Amino acid sequence: MIDAYPDVFVCENCRDISIQTNLGMYVPVDENEEIVKKIDKSSIKARNPEMIMQCDLDGKYKKYKDYLHICDKCGGKLRRIPPREYNNLKCPKCGHPLGVGKEIMLWD
């Protein structure tokens, strides 16, 4: 399974902030790494993995591998920022706190 949820990322080099689709890979909790390695990579299911949301992961899946996000501006490695740390974000240009509030809402 692939986590198709958008997350906030910060570049470890230039501190630029961006929104990226997470793309972390997860496997069911009852499968181990050896089973995953034996999956036929040429199968339709492997080439077109099922996309799920973060709320569907809890208790059913465990992280198998993170997707390496790269900064579009400098090529540095991006680090995912958990929502609980949004209020700690600072402007990459001036360093001033961004003051992200709790008024964030997602909708279709």
Please check whether residue 75 is in contact with residue 12, taking contact to mean a CB–CB distance below 8 angstroms: no
pTM over 0.85: no
- When comparing pLDDT for 10 and 38, which is higher? 10
Q: What is the pLDDT of residue 89?
A: 87
Q: What is the pLDDT of residue 104?
A: 53
Burial of 52 (0-12, 13-18, 19+ CB in 10 A): middle
pLDDT in tens, 81-108: 988 888 888 888 888 888 665 555 555 4
Please check whether residue 17 is in contact with residue 75, taking contact to mean a CB–CB distance below 8 angstroms: no
For residue 85, the 8-state DSSP code is G
Q: For the chain, what percent of residues have pLDDT higher than 70?
A: 66
- When comparing pLDDT for 63 and 49, which is higher? 63
Q: For the chain, what percent of residues have pLDDT higher than 90?
A: 27
Q: Which helix (H) or strand (E) holds 26?
A: strand 25-28
Q: What is the pLDDT of residue 61?
A: 81
Q: What is the pLDDT of residue 50?
A: 60
Do the bridges between strand 61-65 and strand 25-28 make them parallel or antiparallel, or are there none, so unpaired? antiparallel
d(CA 85, CA 29): 27
Q: Which CA distances in Å does 9 have to 19, 42, 58, 81, 101? A: 6, 31, 21, 5, 17
